[in-house]
Amino acid sequence: MKLNIKLVCVALLVAGATSGWTMEDGDGDRQEQTVASARTAKPTIDPITTSVSNIIFRMHPGSALSQKKIAFLKRYPKECKLIDHDYYDRGFNMSFLDPFFVLAMNFTEQLISRNLGRTIRVCDFGCGIGHTSILLGLLGSKEQIHVLGIENGMKADEFEETKAFHAYAERLHGQLGFVGGLPVRLKTDVEATTLQGYSTYAPSNVFDVNFMGNFLHMFAPKAAKNLVKEHAYRMLRPGGMLLASFDGICAAGNNIEKAKEVYLQAKQEGKKFPSVINILDLAIVTKYEDEIKDIEHIEEIPTIYSSAAVSEDGQTIEPCRKTIIKKCFLNVTPLGISGLQKTVCFYDSGLIELVFPKSQWSVTVYRKDIYGQYNPDLRDHEVVKWNLIAEKK
Ligand SMILES: C[S@@+](CC[C@H](N)C(=O)[O-])C[C@H]1O[C@@H](n2cnc3c(N)ncnc32)[C@H](O)[C@@H]1O
């Protein structure tokens, strides 16, 4: 397993980790293949130029199913802003656009094609509106793979979008030659830190892959550490892989140099969690009904960064990624110009070591710069995105 994931990583990194779509032209004559021929076809994956569509249509090379491939590329999810609830910063739902997701797909497919004689189980933590889970579910039949998507904040209109994509994927799953329905279970109101009732759907030592796309930075260090230990680690079988992406300091926004300064200063002062930072923006709140409903950011005013207070065991004073109205100017209600502060838990090597202790995990990390390129020479404060692959010992 180790060898495979390393090979895939190296291939992606060497290729500059591009995930450009490659589409075969074809007249569509042979687009409908039988279930039997799909099963006997050899998978065709080129690890250098592969894309999600290549992986999903691997049993149907050339012009086979070409119309379906074109439809798939058109139907591929678009980046979308997840709806905030109680002004909690849920960020964008976009892991499916990330080469790291291609790597996760590729790795999962490799597990399936090894015919291990069991169902490959994948858990997608913080799956947003579930696109990544659904795409992973297109990799095989119910006997081959089962994907569990966990999310605690799906809104009604997000659910509609999920339903539509799920219905499309369900049809495509059958057209790909798989029987038994799309093997994806989305738990859209489940808290990943507690995983209530986990013994039924999140049992211990059975998962092969845990995917965490832009997820861990949603938590204070203590909560992230507990979540990884008590659920991600527990659920994986020994040798199972956790693949995660999360923000580094350079994801801090419109005043990055200042954010780096704050981080380096905190490090110099010997703070245990220098990468946990408070972000203060002045903004105009235009709608408020017990919570902020709408704001207009004032672009000209730079964001102010400061080091966040974090307890010895990694607890922050304010919950992470939740916007707090700190001060109201010129008015007595939150409407108008307000100071909006949030505590953000960016990652550095120290925090990665805390959340993924060496006694439990074999960890490999990849660093991405502000141009989206992998660069092993980056120093911690120059990283925009961390990609991490951790094997359960
Ligand atoms: C930045 S989004 C990433 C979504 C998706 N994984 C992606 O990258 O496209 C983080 C997601 O984690 C979810 N989340 C945050 N805290 C959670 C928790 N305690 N339990 C379950 N989901 C959570 C958020 O609601 C949000 O959908």
Q: Which domains does the chain have, with CATH numbers?
A: 2-248+349-392 (3.40.50.150), 250-345 (no CATH)
Q: Which pLDDT does position 91 carry in this prediction?
A: 86
pLDDT of residue 65: 95
**Six-digit token pair at 266?**
């905190």
Q: How far, in Å, from the CA of 130 to the mean position of ligand 1?
A: 10
Q: Which of 31-45, 65-79, 240-254, 374-388 has the lowest mean pLDDT?
A: 31-45
Atom of ligand 1 nearest to the CA of 124: 6
Return d(Cα 387, Cα 368) in angstroms, integer.
Answer: 8
Q: 36 pLDDT exceeds 60?
A: no
Q: Which two tokens stand for residue 384?
A: 């925009």
Closest CA to 38 of 183, 182, 178: 178
- Does residue 261 have a pLDDT over 50? yes
- Span 92-104, average pLDDT: 94
Alpha-helix residue ranges (DSSP H) falling in the chain: 2-14, 35-40, 52-56, 66-75, 99-113, 131-137, 156-175, 198-201, 221-227, 234-235, 256-268, 349-355
Tell me the CA–centroid distance for residue 151 and ligand 1, in Å. Answer: 6
Quote the ligand 1 centre to 226 CA distance (angstroms): 16
Q: For residue 357, is pLDDT > 60?
A: yes
User: How far is residue 295 from each of residues 281, 299, 334, 335, measured CA to CA in Å?
Assistant: 11, 12, 11, 9
Q: Give 103-123 pLDDT, tens digit per residue.
A: 999 999 999 999 999 999 999
Q: Among 88, 151, 198, which residue has the most ligand 1 atoms within 8 Å of its CB, making it the best to mutate?
A: 151
What are the angstrom distances between the C-alpha of 378 and each of 61, 318, 385, 390?
Answer: 39, 30, 11, 20
Contact 62, 24 (CB under 8 A): yes
Side chain identity, residue 346: F
Output the CA 129–ligand 1 centroid distance in Å: 9
Query: Residue 114 in contact with residue 253, Cβ under 8 Å?
Result: no
pLDDT at 42: 61
Report the separation in Å between the CA atom of 171 and the middle of ligand 1, taken as the mean of its atom positions: 27
pLDDT greater at residue 324 or residue 225 = 225
- Residue with CA at minimum distance from ligand 1 atom 9: 93
Sheet holding 361-368, edge to edge: 184-187, 145-150, 120-125, 207-213, 236-247, 385-392, 361-368
Tell me the C-alpha to C-alpha distance, in Å, between residue 305 and each of 87, 171, 215, 250, 324. 19, 48, 22, 12, 15
Q: How confident is the model at residue 45 (pLDDT cuts 50, 70, 90)?
A: low
Mean pLDDT of 369-386: 96
The better pLDDT of the pair 206, 197 is held by: 206
* Ligand 1 nearest-atom number relative to CA 92: 1
Q: What single DSSP character describes residue 82? A: P
Question: Ligand 1 test: best mutation among 92, 127, 227, 387, most atoms within 8 Å of CB?
Answer: 127
Best residue for ligand 1 mutational test, from 218, 322, 346 (most atoms within 8 Å of Cβ): 218
Name the residue with tokens 């100071």.
339
Q: Are 107 and 194 in contact (CB under 8 A)?
A: no
Nearest C-alpha neighbor of 382 from the set 202, 251, 262, 287: 251
Angle between the N-to-C axes of helices 2-14 and 99-113, in degrees from 0 to 180, rounded to the nearest 10: 150
Ligand 1 atom at minimum distance from 128 CA: 27
Cβ distance 337 to 284 under 8 Å? yes
Residue 6 has pLDDT above 70, yes or no: no
294 alpha carbon to ligand 1 midpoint, in Å?
A: 21
| Ligand 1 nearest-atom number relative to CA 131 | 9
Mean pLDDT is lowest, of 3-17, 105-119, 141-155, for 3-17
What's residue 38's pLDDT? 43
Instruction: From the CA of 211, give the closest atom in ligand 1.
Output: 6
Pocket of ligand 1 (CB under 6 A): 82, 90-91, 93-95, 126-128, 132, 150-153, 191-193, 213-215, 218
Residue 20 has pLDDT above 50, yes or no: no
How close is the Cα of 217 to the center of ligand 1, in Å?
A: 9
Helix (H, G, I), strand (E, B) or coil at 3: helix
Residue with tokens 């070409």, as numbered in its chain: 66
